[in-house]
Amino acid sequence: MGFSSTSPKDSSETLETTPLNPNSLSTQIPPDSFHLAYIIYFILGAGFLVPWNAFITAVDYFAYLYPGVAVDRVFAVTYMLVALIFLLIIIRVAEKSRAYIRINLGLVMFVVSLVVVPVMDVCYVKGRRGLYGAYYVTVVATGLSGMGDALVQGSLIGSAGELPERYMQAVVAGTAASGVLVSLMRIITKSIFSQDAHGLRRSANLYFGVSIAFMIVCLICHNVTHTLPIIRYYKNLKVKAITVEEDEEKNEKETHVWSSNLWHIIGRIKWFCFGVGLIYVITLSIFPGYITEDVHSSLLKDWYPILLIAGYNVFDLVGKTLTAFYIIENEKIAVGATVVRLLFYPLFYGCLHGPKFFRTEIPVTVLTCLLGLTNGYVTSILMILAPKAVPLQHAEMAGVVIVLFLGVGLVVGSIVAWFWVI
Task: Give the pLDDT confidence of 253-264 residue by residue, as tens digits.
Answer: 555 555 667 888
Among 76, 215, 93, smallest CA distance to 158 is for 93
Query: Which residues, at least 6 apart from 72, have a Cβ–Cβ distance to it below 8 Å?
Result: 56, 59, 63
| pLDDT of residue 5 exceeding 80 | no
Q: Tally the C-alpha atoms within 13 A of residue 163's C-alpha that lie toward its C-beta.
A: 26
pLDDT for the residue numbered 97: 82
Which pLDDT does position 218 carry in this prediction? 96
pLDDT tens-digit map of 329-368: 999 999 999 999 999 999 988 888 888 888 788 999 999 9
The H helix count followed by the E strand count for the chain is 16, 0
Between CA 269 and CA 278 the distance in angstroms is: 14
Mean pLDDT, rounded, for 381-399: 91
> What confidence score (pLDDT) does residue 381 get?
97
Q: Is the Cβ–Cβ distance between 284 and 151 less than 8 Å?
A: no
Of 120, 141, 150, whose CA–CA distance to 55 is shortest? Answer: 141
Contact (CB, 8 A) for 348 and 405: no
Residue 373: predicted pLDDT: 97
CA distance 160 to 384: 9
The residue ranges of every structural domain in the chain are: 34-242+251-419
Give the CA distances from residue 281 to residues 63, 69, 93, 225, 410, in Å, rounded to whole numbers and listed in that order. 26, 25, 27, 33, 6
pLDDT at 251 over 80: no
Instruction: Give the C-alpha separation, 319 to 377, whole Å.
Output: 4
pLDDT score at 418: 73
CB atoms within 10 A of CB 334: 20
| pTM across the whole model | 0.84
104 Cβ contact partners less than 8 Å away, ≥ 6 residues apart: 219, 222, 223
pLDDT, position 312: 92
d(CA 216, CA 180): 20
Q: Are 78 and 141 in contact (CB under 8 A)?
A: no
Rounded CA separation 40/18 (Å): 31
For residue 321, give the amino acid letter: T
Residue 18, pLDDT > 60, answer no
Residues 170-197: what's their mean pLDDT? Answer: 89
- Selected from 1.20.1250.20, 2.40.50.140, 1.10.20.10, 1.10.645.10, the CATH number assigned to the domain covering 34-242+251-419 reads 1.20.1250.20
Mean pLDDT of 26-41: 88
Q: What is the pLDDT of residues 62-121, one digit of tens each?
A: 989 999 888 877 888 899 889 999 998 988 887 778 889 999 999 999 999 999 999 999
Q: How many other C-beta atoms are found inside a 10 Å radius of the C-beta of residue 339?
A: 12
- Residue 15 pLDDT level (bands cut at 50, 70, 90): very low
Average confidence (pLDDT) over 210-216:
94
Task: Give the per-residue pLDDT at 292.
Answer: 66
Distance (Å, whole) CA 99 – CA 92: 13
The gap between the terminal CA atoms of the chain, to the nearest Å, is 45
Q: What angle do CA 136, 137, 143 make, to 5 degrees?
A: 90
In eight-state DSSP terms, residue 99 is H
What average pLDDT does range 396-419 have in this prediction? 88
pLDDT per position as a tens digit, 109-132: 999 999 999 999 999 988 899 899
